[in-house]
Every structure is written in C-alpha cells, then in structure tokens.
Amino acid sequence: MIRHPPSKPITLPQNLSANITRKPQVSTKEGKNTFAVAGIVAAIVCVLAVIFVGAAYTAAKLKHEFKNIPEDKSSAVVSAIDSKQELEETLEKAEESTKKAENEPTDEYIESAKSDIKNLPYTKRTLFSERIAKLEKAKQEEKERAEKAKKDAEEQKKRAEQAATAAAAAKKTRQRQIQQQRQRQAVAPPAVTPAQSQASGAFFRNCKEARATGYSNMSRGTPGYREELDRDHDGTACER
C-alpha cells in the first residue's frame, strides 16, 4: 500500500482572502435585482399571453358559432343587422326633416318630413305624425286668422267706401236742391196777396178746397197761390 504524504494547508494572502469574502455579498445583491427584473418581465409576458389567448379563444368561439349557424340563418342574422342599421338611418332622417319643418313650417318642409315619415315602420310613425299634425293645425289656424283679418279689412273698406259714396250723393242732392230753389226765387213773380187772389176769383182756404175746384201745383204769382198753401216754401202750392 502506497502512502501519500499529508497535504499541506494552502495559505492565501490576506488581501485575496478579504476579496473572496466580499464577492459573494455583491453577487448576492445583483442576483436579487436580476431576479426581480426577470420576475416583472415574466409577469408582463404572462399577462400578454393571457390576453392574446383570450382574444384568440373569443375569435375562435365566434367563428365556430358562425360556422355552426346554418346558411339561411346566417343570412337572416346579416339581414337583421342591415335592417337595424337602415332603421336607425331612417329614424335619423325623419327626425332631421321634422325638426326642420318645426323651425320653418313651409309647405315644402312639411311635405318632405311627411315623406320621410312614410318610410318608417307603422310602429315608429306615431310620434312623428303627431308632431307634424300639431304643426299643420297651428299653421291652419294661423292661415284662418290671416284670412279673417283680410276679410274684415275688406268689409270695413267697403263700408267706408259706401258711406263716402252716400255722403257725397247726399251732399250733391242738397246742393242741387239749393241751386234749384235759388233759381226759382230769382225768376218768381211777386207774391199774390189774399186780396189779389180774391180779385182774380181764385181763393182757397186749403188745398183740399183748391183740388176740389181743379186747382193744384199753383206756382207763386198764379191765381189761387197763397203762402199758407205752400207748406214747403218751394214756390208751389198744393202739390200733388
């Protein structure tokens, strides 16, 4: 049996021993930091992976569901989506045209709104139709008030014209009567006194007596005329 000489203990320098003692402390601190960073990165990766997997699963599920829908039902789903979108657009257009008619109630805007409302389903027309009906009623009432005011003004104008015409005619008649009276007075002979009437053999106490003897419409200055018989003093006595 071969015997080996006993190994001698290795003696390191003091500086090297101190360095060896400190290095594990530094390595331990750096290792902790590295581990923390790695943990954060791993957590982020896990979160992203979960999100990605969830999205992929949802997409696959939807794809699977749509694949499992029969062709006719799939078309029905697409048609329903299109119909809903079309309804929303039609409602929006009807609302827009109705508001425009309310802000400016012209016949053109009202008819445009009614046309858009007709494109809606019956169940959606009620509110819009009520708004348009209210608008048309107010417009009709305003139109009737305007027509009544116009008619009243025309009647008042007509009455004023008639009154002016009547007043002018009455004035003209009075002027003609005055003129005729002045003309008669200018050419009338002197008044006959009762004595002269008696002398002429024609004296009447009243017009009845004069008419009984055939006298009437006796002008001033003619036999039988007397001022007492000329009641309206127009120069003619006992007028028929």
Per-residue pLDDT of 201-216, as tens digits, reads: 678 888 888 888 888 8
DSSP 8-state class, residue 120: S
In a domain, 112, yes or no: yes
Sign of CA dihedral 157, 162, 168, 171: negative
In a domain, 21, yes or no: no
In a domain, 209, yes or no: yes
Number of Cβ atoms within 10 Å of the Cβ of 116: 20
In a domain, 22, yes or no: no
pLDDT score recorded for residue 162 = 93
Cβ pair 116, 93 in contact under 8 A: yes
- Helices 122-187 and 71-103 pack at an angle, to 10 degrees, of 20
In a domain, 25, yes or no: no
Q: Give the C-alpha separation, 98 to 113, whole Å.
A: 5
Torsion of CA 204, 205, 208, 214, to 10 degrees: 0
Per-residue pLDDT of 120-167, as tens digits, reads: 998 889 999 999 999 999 999 999 999 999 999 999 999 999 999 999
- The answer to whether residue 106 scores a pLDDT higher than 50 is yes
SS3 content of the chain, % helix, strand, coil (to 5): 75, 0, 25
In a domain, 27, yes or no: no
Domain count, the chain: 2
In a domain, 184, yes or no: no
Domain hosting residue 101, numbered range: 85-145
| Reported confidence tier of residue 50, pLDDT bands at 50, 70, 90 | low
Long-range contacts from 208-212, C-beta under 8 angstroms, 24+ separation: 210/237, 210/238, 211/238
Helix (H, G, I), strand (E, B) or coil at 217: coil
In a domain, 49, yes or no: no
Per-residue pLDDT of 63-104, as tens digits, reads: 555 455 455 554 554 556 668 899 899 999 999 999 999 998
Per-residue pLDDT of 178-190, as tens digits, reads: 888 888 777 655 5
